[in-house]
Amino acid sequence: MKKLFALLAAGLLAVMSGCGGQTASNESKSSAQEPVELHVSAAASLTDVMNEIGKDYEAEHPNVKVVFNYGSSGALQQAIENGGDADLFFSAAQKQMNALEKAGLLADGTRKDLLQNEVVLIVPKEGGKDISSFDQLTSDTITHVALGEPKGVPVGQYSEEILTKLGILDAVKAKAVYGSDVRQVLAWVASGEADAGLVYATDAAISSDVRVVAKAPAGTHKDIIYPAAILKDSKHLDTAKDFLAFVSNDKNKERFAKYGFEVK
């Protein structure tokens, strides 16, 4: 009888162990498929290309929803510093990323230089003033020049560097209208509300309502480098690392190039 009880107990233990193992396995599988909402803060100049990349990533990872927050790099930096929800940050300048790194807000070893851009002078495609160079921005016939707000918008900072090097900053500032990000500058010129504006070459390339009349002369501004990094407080570190690697793959390098970026 004792032998029978021992056999029954052993059998019951084996069944319970089997069930426990199956439950753990199912839980692990379920956990792997739990929906993830990945928050990506990105410079406004990346809007179109990052939307494409996000859709492709979601198609390959059905459990992941990529939520983008676009704006000026300065505004995004401040939002992150104030506790805003972000897993990754794609900046249009080193300054904002440097500030976050100095504050200890970046995940170790995840920062990388991703892209390079350039600044161009644009005018409305139809019916604009006769402008073909930066020097002409000082002409009395030009009343409104659209620039990025230099305190928080990288293209505005680069623009001031360029205009300072050319010796025309004060004259242009007298007629400047300042946009909250590069897309607002682009919109003002496209609509004719501004006679001219300074934007990234990649932004000019996506609009059929503006034309490029000049590129910023060599040596008039620092290199325009776009760094990317994962935030230290990311709730989805593994997914964030995977997304950053995905952004940097060969297919997406070609996509960035299609939009006019130089891939680092």
The end-to-end CA distance of the chain, in Å, is: 77
What HEC string does 131-169 produce?
Answer: CCCHHHHHCCCCCCEEEECCCCCHHHHHHHHHHHHCCCH
Burial of 20 from C-beta contacts in 10 A (0-12 / 13-18 / 19+):
exposed
Cα separation, 91 vs 11, in Å, equals: 61
Confirm whether residue 208 is marked as ligand binding: no
Confirm whether residue 259 is marked as ligand binding: no
Confirm whether residue 45 is marked as ligand binding: yes
Instruction: Measure the CA angle with vertex 189, ends 185 and 191; round to 5°.
Output: 115
HSE, CB side, 13 Å, CA atoms: give it for residue 120.
19
Cα separation, 217 vs 221, in Å, equals: 9
Q: Sign of the CA dihedral 114, 187, 153, 89?
A: negative
102 CB neighbour count, 10 Å cutoff: 9
Which helix (H) or strand (E) element contains residue 178?
strand 176-179
Q: Quick check: 259 and 49 in contact, CB under 8 A?
A: yes
Positions at the binding site: 45, 73, 182, 200
Binding site listing for molybdate: 45, 73, 182, 200
